């Protein structure tokens, strides 16, 4: 039977354990049942610190151009020097810009059988806010002063809120299909600090709420929350959240904070999403402390591959991967050392492949 759809996926392992986990993600995609009608063509691509040391460029132009002709990609991790090195800048930040990946999506989820189940997604605006990196330093009679621009646009805020709404609807659809859930209906929480930053965060708030008032989101409940009280509630009552939408900086902080709720960085996936392209990326770094020991947890990457598929409209394939990972975690027999187990990367992978 001919495949219903061929997907070209760029693979960028990068540095450190990126080289151990990205191959695991690939093997999971290859092991998806043929009945789904998907065919994958993989392209190996370079970026990162090692690439920079070899070639003087952290993100080769060829990598960007090849990705532009792919449907999706998987990005491992890159090591960055702690102090600035001339000519080096983070390839993932550059990739988000070059490929117009305007959203960073991070699901934070425990298994359903957890004592305190959590199931939320943080949707972070990825192109503006304080991260436009327009900073300057100047001298005054009292000493140096540094300033940074915080830029918020109606357009980017509308786009990110609409994406949060779509994700809330999709999650509800998956629940309605019988998947166990801790949530009643779709909920989006708009995060801001407009009581202080009335213009910038004020615009994010009004544009987000206007976008979510669209009739297609009529079944989505919309709440708003000031970011500081949000951090408090996120730790006290994480089960209360379904989809969180936030401007870049708050989203960055919330998503790392939320990742701490589920036990290990090795579990948490993310995707950088644009209009027609999704780049899956485990939320951990290159973990030089465990590199080369064969013990890195591949689950964050495997879940990132599933998340990428969700944004390529392959929900059924994504659901199969999520279920296989959940079953592995629920049984708890083949778990890696970061979760208190003794299983090697390869053993965790084999257990997940068997369940697929």
Q: Tell me which residues touch ligand ATP (CB under 6 A).
A: 17, 77, 79-80, 265-266, 284-290, 296-297, 300, 336, 338
272: partner contacted, choices Mg ion, ligand ATP, none (Cβ within 5-8 A by kind): none
Does position 257 interact with Mg ion (CB under 5 A)? The reply is: no
* Residue 290 or 321 with smaller CB distance to Mg ion: 290
Q: How far is the CB of 304 from ligand ATP (least distance, A)?
A: 11
Q: Are 320 and 42 in contact (CB under 8 A)?
A: no
Does position 285 interact with Mg ion (CB under 5 A)? The reply is: yes
Number of residues that bind Mg ion (CB under 5 A): 1
Does position 274 interact with Mg ion (CB under 5 A)? The reply is: no
Q: How far is the CB of 268 from ligand ATP (least distance, A)?
A: 9
Q: How far is the CB of 186 from Mg ion (least distance, A)?
A: 32
* Residue 205 or 284 with smaller CB distance to ligand ATP: 284
- d(CA 15, CA 272) in angstroms, rounded, equals 19
- d(CA 209, CA 195) in angstroms, rounded, equals 16
* Residue 274 or 285 with smaller CB distance to Mg ion: 285
46: partner contacted, choices ligand ATP, Mg ion, none (Cβ within 5-8 A by kind): none
Q: How far is the CB of 287 from Mg ion (least distance, A)?
A: 8
Q: How far is the CB of 230 from ligand ATP (least distance, A)?
A: 23
Q: How far is the CB of 290 from ligand ATP (least distance, A)?
A: 4
328: partner contacted, choices ligand ATP, Mg ion, none (Cβ within 5-8 A by kind): none
Q: Which residue is nearest to ligand ATP (CB)?
A: 285
- A 10 A CB-CB count for 130 gives 18
* Residue 15 or 314 with smaller CB distance to Mg ion: 15
- d(CA 304, CA 282) in angstroms, rounded, equals 6
- For 345, counting Cβ atoms within 10 Å of its Cβ (0-12 exposed, 13-18 middle, 19+ buried), the class is buried
* Residue 49 or 217 with smaller CB distance to ligand ATP: 49
* Residue 77 or 230 with smaller CB distance to ligand ATP: 77
Q: How are beta strands 243-246 and 135-140 bridged, if at all?
A: unpaired
Residues whose CB falls within 8 Å of the CB of residue 234, separated by 6 or more in sequence, listed in order: 241, 254, 257, 258, 261
* Residue 222 or 259 with smaller CB distance to Mg ion: 259
Q: Which residue is nearest to Mg ion (CB)?
A: 285
* Residue 60 or 285 with smaller CB distance to Mg ion: 285
Does position 256 interact with Mg ion (CB under 5 A)? The reply is: no
265: partner contacted, choices Mg ion, ligand ATP, none (Cβ within 5-8 A by kind): ligand ATP
Site residues (CB under 5 A) for Mg ion? 285
């Amino acid at each position: 039977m001919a495949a219903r759809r061929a997907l070209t996926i760029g693979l960028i392992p990068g540095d450190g354990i990126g080289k151990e986990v990205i191959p695991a993600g690939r093997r999971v995609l290859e092991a998806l049942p043929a009945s789904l009608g998907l065919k994958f063509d993989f392209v190996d691509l370079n970026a990162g610190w090692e690439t920079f040391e070899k070639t003087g460029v952290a993100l080769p132009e060829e990598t960007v151009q090849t990705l532009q002709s792919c449907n999706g990609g998987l990005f491992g991790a890159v090591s960055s020097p702690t102090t600035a090195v001339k000519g080096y800048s983070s390839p993932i930040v550059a990739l988000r810009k070059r490929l117009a990946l305007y959203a960073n999506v991070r699901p934070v989820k425990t298994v359903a059988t957890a004592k305190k189940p959590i199931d939320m997604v943080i949707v972070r605006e990825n192109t503006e806010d304080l991260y436009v990196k327009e900073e300057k330093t100047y001298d005054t009679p009292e000493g140096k002063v540094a300033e940074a621009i915080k830029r918020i646009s109606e357009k980017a805020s509308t786009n990110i809120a609409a994406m949060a709404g779509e994700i809330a609807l999709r999650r509800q659809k998956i629940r309605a299909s019988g998947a166990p859930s801790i949530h009643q209906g779709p909920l989006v929480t708009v995060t801001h600090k407009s009581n202080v930053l009335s213009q910038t965060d004020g615009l994010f708030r009004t544009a987000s709420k206007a976008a979510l008032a669209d009739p297609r989101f009529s079944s989505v409940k919309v709440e708003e929350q000031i970011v500081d009280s949000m951090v408090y509630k996120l730790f006290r009552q994480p089960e209360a959240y379904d989809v969180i939408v936030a401007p870049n900086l708050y989203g960055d902080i919330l998503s790392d904070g939320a990742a701490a709720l589920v036990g290990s960085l090795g579990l948490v996936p993310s995707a950088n999403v644009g209009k027609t392209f999704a780049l899956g990326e485990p939320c951990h770094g290159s973990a030089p402390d465990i590199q080369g020991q064969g013990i890195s947890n591949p689950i964050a990457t495997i879940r990132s591959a599933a998340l990428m598929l969700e944004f390529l409209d392959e929900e059924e394939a994504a659901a199969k991967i999520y279920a296989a990972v959940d079953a592995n975690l629920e049984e708890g027999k083949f778990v890696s050392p970061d979760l208190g187990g003794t299983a090697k990367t390869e053993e965790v992978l084999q257990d997940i492949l068997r369940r697929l």
